[in-house]
Chain A
Amino acid sequence: MTKAQHFEWLLSLADDALILGQRLSEWCGHAPALEEDIALSNVALDLIGQSRAILTHAGLLEGEGRDEDRLAFFRSDREYRNLLLVELPNGHFGDTIARQFFFDQFAMIRYGHLAQQTFDLEIAAIATKALKEVRYHAAHSAEWMIRLGDGTDLSKTRIQESVDRLWPYIGECFEAHPILDAAITSGAMPDCKSIELTWKERVSAVLAEATLILPTDDWKQVGGRNGLHTEHLSYLLAEMQAVPRLHPDAKW
């Protein structure tokens, strides 16, 4: 993997965490119960923390003096490399939980591999810490999938709709991409198919317990890894980046 590919690959890891953390932080103060204000903020904090560590590492690798904030606040949407899934609006609590559940299961498998690989030891260390956090996130989101799926008729209908709505964005998690191929060749990542199989197995088990149906449609909405995003990302970034861009020389 070339240095440029390595850098791009790190951005894809960091951006997944940062954008989802930013989305989750929108819930703070507006969740269905105080316990969920706390829980969703906690998950957001972990994700933002993971993104900071990875962005710092990416900036050092690139060697052009860009720190975490430079990379977070001064890249345009076309330079962001996150999955489309994580930039989708929060919707209702069920939409947020379903998005989180799908992502947590993916992140847990991915960090599991990253913690073991020896291609990039810094990422291995970050992944080891992140894995502990993501296990809690995955337990939280899976428990809610089950509560909502097996709760009331209304909650079952709503969460099934959330699953169906998000489904087209799942394929991108396992989609081949030149940067990802380079990471796989270097031994930094396992092949996509094996991640997908493990993911499907775990997700199916939780959905079965939640009395929900796993969609079978295999249409994939992709583009995030190439910087081709949904209409939602540029709004998210405009909000997130407004203050530092208005005061580009300021320290905070």
Chain B
Amino acid sequence: MDLNQRFEDYIAADQKIEAKDWMPDDYRKTLIRQISQHAHSEIIGMLPEGNWITRAPSLQRKAILLAKVQDEAGHGLYLYSAAETLGAQRDDLMDALIEGRAKYSSIFNYPTLTWADMGAIGWLVDGAAIMNQVPLCKCSYGPYARAMVRVCKEESFHQRQGFQIMLNLCEGTDEQREMAQDSLNRWWWPSLMMFGPNDESSTHNEQSMRWKIKRFSNDELRQRFVDMTIPQVELLGLTVPDKDLKWNQSTGHYEMGAIDWQEFFNVIAGNGPCNKERIAARKKAHRDGQWVRQAASAYAEKMRTKVTPNQTNAA
């Protein structure tokens, strides 16, 4: 039996592929692309929320937000590590990001304008991310699947804290409720876009489904998200900015209005409100930090050359 057939059979039997197993080049490339995009999304995602750490309205909220954004750095770190098990290098992936060659979740190209956005992002954006990510805990590539188990646990914590922020705002003063509604108005459609284009126009679907890198289609996940979220919107006493949204008794699902895909493709093409600022911030951090990383490497090298003769003696 050829290697490729054995690989396909192995996946069909729901077995995990590990770092040292044989795999087709396209499988490796697809995974590196997907995992690194995910890692980039985590670290770019630190920026819009990081924007409010210094202005969180209570010390408890400050601590929670800081811990949340720190978790995202941690997710980025284990995802880059998962990509490294496939032969990629973190430095190369980072270069691709700051040179604009790599993609990341386009939602982070929207600005965070009020404190309520910390609620909406946790609740909607992390909520949508969980919908996308829970199936990845069962994806065929072992290191990615295991990283995602931990990521998803933390994300569900993030989602709850986001909802809690919204709930506090909605139970608060008139201005706080307005802030919450305004934030929902701005984040609702971009959150639905996070699931990607409609199934008929999504490019990577079929192959990824067969390889069990992807397990549900974009539209299935989007529907699941809307069905889960609308009762929460009602509980908060808010309304989604979709006049066509309605409950369909016969299907048992909500029907949603048309998504403005032109906006989605504009943002992906680099023309969202904050694309340039996000990349510029990453670039600045990377360049400003270069002398620090060089110093750390130089020092590690000095220590290594110091230690070697002793180790030789001991041996």
Residue numbers of A with Cβ under 8 A of B are: 18, 22, 25-26, 28-38, 41-42, 44-45, 48-49, 51-52, 55, 68-69, 72-73, 92-94, 146-148, 150-152, 154-155, 158, 239-240, 242-244, 247, 249-252
If the complex has contacts A72-B59, A252-B168, are A38 and B298 also in contact, measured as CB distance less than 8 A?
no
Interface set, chain B 161-176, CB cutoff 8 A to A: 165, 168, 172-173, 175-176
Contact A52 B63 (CB under 8 A): yes
- A147 to B292 alpha-carbon distance, docked (Å): 9
Chain B residues with Cβ under 8 A from A244's Cβ? 57-58
- A34 to B294 alpha-carbon distance, docked (Å): 15
Chain A residues with Cβ under 8 A from B165's Cβ? 252
- A69 to B294 alpha-carbon distance, docked (Å): 41
Interface residues in B, total, Cβ within 8 A = 46
Chain B residues with Cβ under 8 A from A35's Cβ? 77
Question: Other CB < 8 Å A-B pairs besides A28-B66, A38-B77, A155-B294, 11 of them?
Answer: A26-B54, A29-B46, A29-B281, A30-B50, A30-B284, A36-B289, A37-B73, A42-B70, A49-B63, A73-B57, A250-B175
8 residue pairs bridging A and B, Cβ less than 8 Å apart: A28-B50, A30-B288, A38-B74, A38-B77, A49-B63, A52-B59, A147-B299, A247-B175
Contact B54 A41 (CB under 8 A): no
Contact B168 A251 (CB under 8 A): yes
Contact A48 B69 (CB under 8 A): no
Question: What's the least CB distance linking A236 to chain B, in Å?
Answer: 8
B127 close to A (CB within 8 Å): no
- A246 to B259 alpha-carbon distance, docked (Å): 36
- A35 to B74 alpha-carbon distance, docked (Å): 8
Chain A residues with Cβ under 8 A from B69's Cβ? 28-29, 41
Contact B76 A34 (CB under 8 A): yes
Contact B289 A252 (CB under 8 A): no
Chain B residues with Cβ under 8 A from A150's Cβ? 299, 302
- Provide the main secondary structure of the chain A interface: helix
**A52 is contacted by which of B54, B60, B76, B289 (Cβ under 8 Å)?**
B60
Interface set, chain B 4-63, CB cutoff 8 A to A: 43, 46-47, 50, 53-63
**B70 is contacted by which of A33, A45, A155, A242 (Cβ under 8 Å)?**
A45
B295 close to A (CB within 8 Å): yes
**B66 is contacted by which of A30, A41, A240 (Cβ under 8 Å)?**
A41
**A41 is contacted by which of B58, B70, B281 (Cβ under 8 Å)?**
B70
- A125 to B139 alpha-carbon distance, docked (Å): 47
Binary contact track B153-186/A, C-beta < 8 Å → 1, others 0: 0000000000001001000110110000000000
Question: What's the least CB distance linking B301 to chain A, in Å?
Answer: 10
Question: What's the least CB distance linking B68 to chain A, in Å?
Answer: 10
Question: What's the least CB distance linking B314 to chain A, in Å?
Answer: 24
Smallest CB-CB A-B distances: 6 pairs: A32-B289, A151-B295, A155-B295, A29-B50, A29-B46, A41-B70
Question: What's the least CB distance linking A100 to chain B, in Å?
Answer: 14
Contact B298 A151 (CB under 8 A): yes
Contact A152 B57 (CB under 8 A): no
Question: What's the least CB distance linking A233 to chain B, in Å?
Answer: 14
Chain A residues with Cβ under 8 A from B146's Cβ? none
Chain A residues with Cβ under 8 A from B295's Cβ? 147-148, 151-152, 154-155
Chain A residues with Cβ under 8 A from B291's Cβ? 152, 154-155, 158
Contact A37 B66 (CB under 8 A): no
Chain B residues with Cβ under 8 A from A158's Cβ? 291
B296 close to A (CB within 8 Å): yes
